[in-house]
Structure 1
Amino acid sequence: MNHSALFVTVALSLSTATILSILSLPFAGWIVFSKSRWALMGESLLTMTLVLPPAVLGYFLLVLFRPDRWPGAFLSGIFGHSLSFTFSGLLLASLIYSLPFAVQPVAQAFRQVPPGTIEMARILGACPLTTFWRVVVPVSLQGVATGWILGFAHTVGEFGVVMMVGGNIPGETRTLSLKAYDDLLSPNGSDVWGSVAPLLLFSFLSLFALNLVKRAGAPAPKGGPHGVAIP
């Protein structure tokens, strides 16, 4: 197994999922609770990466990251280097690519918050911001956890975007999915399982964790006199 590819994959996936779990809260709050006519268009833009081919998105990001034009010049000034073919650029591209996978579960959880709960907080004098952070978010933690897991799993399996933006540089931007691709194209392909096996393991663990979160948030069945669930 190529441990550098494993390290890059884990670091990229953990960073992406964690940052997205924070960014998803204001984005989902704006989508669900905003009365602006731009909310629908904003939601459409946020979810475009679900239907846009990854290679096309990677190409657009490469163009945006060019240091000789805005916003590439602005981002290069912040990071101190060009973002193309670097881990920083790969992380930013992953955040954009996996954003809807983190936002949608949170938005769905926000929509399931009883309106009466929000109204009661407002009657008690809580401002909209306080209501959001102290009422809406705490009762939506299952959606936040689901978004984190999906963001992590989606980043682990990225290929087209990381290939275009990262450039498949060993020890810097080569992930397990890129190494598996290289191994499959190699003459012998003997080391392909060293890359594929961790990807299979990450996929299984992500689905297992996702099912655990769903079970933990599912309502308990009503028990009858003999412990039989009552519909």
Structure 2
Amino acid sequence: MIATQDWLAISLTLKLALLTSVILLLISLPLAWWLSQWQSRAKPLVQSVIALPLVLPPTVLGFYLLLAFSPSSLPGELWQSVTGTQLAFSFSALVIGSVIYSLPFAVQPLYTAFVQLDHRYLDVAKTLGMSRFACWRHIVLPLIRPSILVAFGLSFAHTIGEFGVVLMIGGNIPGETQVLSIALYDHVEALDYQNAHTLAAALLIFSLVLLSGLYRLNRKDRDPWTSMSR
């Protein structure tokens, strides 16, 4: 039986994952397109910065984000002056941190799709007088739809599994920053293994079902494991 506080953590986690994934798509689509078209010696450096959360320990990223979000720093001070609330240990901090931490999971599948895109379709569309927006809407987006779904799914799943980053910048405030992974950790610390097993099993089953769906979706195109390893 799932406790009321755990339901709050589940609801907050789903809200965070959905909001993060939508924001990441809005950011990653133009960013991945630009990267696929950009030719510069600085490109590997930019790609490395984007991919840094894949190898950087989450607590390291969380620590520097916590410093940036504090009221004594410029970003934290600006946020507080505009909103009247503190950025650190808030849901907004979780969203910003999650977007940064899950960015490569959204960018890389889209970047691979744009690199593999047959540009002859775009060339023909231009000769027919289609605008750039029309080309994107009617040609590019339909062609990369599987990759868009993969990017969304990976971002969603990765956000749900976050622990180190969200703990550093959000703390453990029930109903506001206590996400599912932190609630699970609380149960383990309290030796409440029954509830810990329930949450862990739910996360395991959800992750397996989601990843199976992504592999099934992409089996005729390319699989998401290959996309993330390129």
Identify the TM-score tier after normalising by the shorter chain: 0.7 to 0.9
- 1:68 maps to what in 2? 72
Q: Is this contact kept in 1: 2:62–2:164, CA < 8 A?
A: yes
Q: Equivalences for 1:111-190 in 2 at 5 Å?
A: 111-126=115-130, 128=132, 130-190=134-194
How much is the aligned-residue C-alpha RMSD, in angstroms? Answer: 2.0
- Selected match of 2:199 from 190, 195, 198: 195
Q: What residue number does 1:41 align with?
A: 45
Q: Which amino acid is 1:190 matched to?
A: Q
Gaps of 5+ in 1: 219-231
Alignment equivalent of 1:58, drawn from 45, 62, 82:
62
Q: Which residue of 2 aligns with 1:89?
A: 93
Tell me how far apart the structure 1 counterparts of residues 30 and 42 of structure 2 sit (CA, whole Å).
Answer: 15
Aligned partners of 1:156 and 1:202 also within 8 Å = no
Contact 2:162–2:181, Cα closer than 8 Å, also in 1: yes
**1:184-203, Cα deviation, whole Å (9 max, x unpaired):** 12134332123212211220
What TM-score do you get using the length of structure 1 for normalisation? 0.86
The 1:26–1:193 alpha-carbon spacing in structure 2 relative to 1, beyond 3 Å, is: same
1:17 maps to amino acid: S
Q: Supply the distance in 2 between the matched residues of 1:52 and 1:37 (Cα, whole angstroms).
A: 23
Deviation at 1:161, TM superposition (A): 0.4
Q: Would you say the 8 A contact 1:93–1:161 is kept in 2?
A: yes
Could you tell which deviates more after superposition, 110-119 or 91-100?
Answer: 110-119
CA distance in 2, matches of 1:55, 1:78: 28
CA separation in 2, counterparts of 1:46 and 1:17? 16
**Whole-angstrom CA distance in 2 between matches of 1:90 and 1:143:** 25
Q: CA deviation at 1:24?
A: 1.1
* Counterpart code for 1:204: L
Q: Secondary structure at the match of 1:171?
A: coil
Q: Which stretches in structure 2 are left out of the alignment for 5+ residues? A: 223-230
What is the DSSP-based 3-state SS (H/G/I as helix, E as strand, rest coil) of the residue aligned with 2:19?
helix
Segment of structure 1 superposing worse, 142-151 or 167-176: 167-176
The answer to which structure has the higher helix fraction is 2
The one of 208, 214, 227 aligned to 1:210: 214
Given that 1:32 and 1:110 are in contact with CA atoms closer than 8 Å, whether structure 2 keeps it comes out as: yes
Stretch moving more, 60-69 or 118-127: 118-127
Provide TM-score, normalisation by structure 2: 0.86
- SS of alignment partner, residue 182 of structure 2: helix
Whose Rg is larger? Answer: 1
- After superposition, the C-alpha distances for 1:123-170 in whole angstroms (9 at most, x for unaligned) are 334455554444322211111100000001101111100110110111
Q: Which structure has the higher relative contact order (CA within 8 Å, separation 6+)? A: 2
Aligned residues between the structures: 218
Secondary structure at the aligned position of 2:194 is classed as coil
Residue of structure 1 equivalent to 2:226: none
- What's the CA shift string for 1:93-141, capped at 9, x where partnerless? 0000001001111111111111222222333344555544443222111
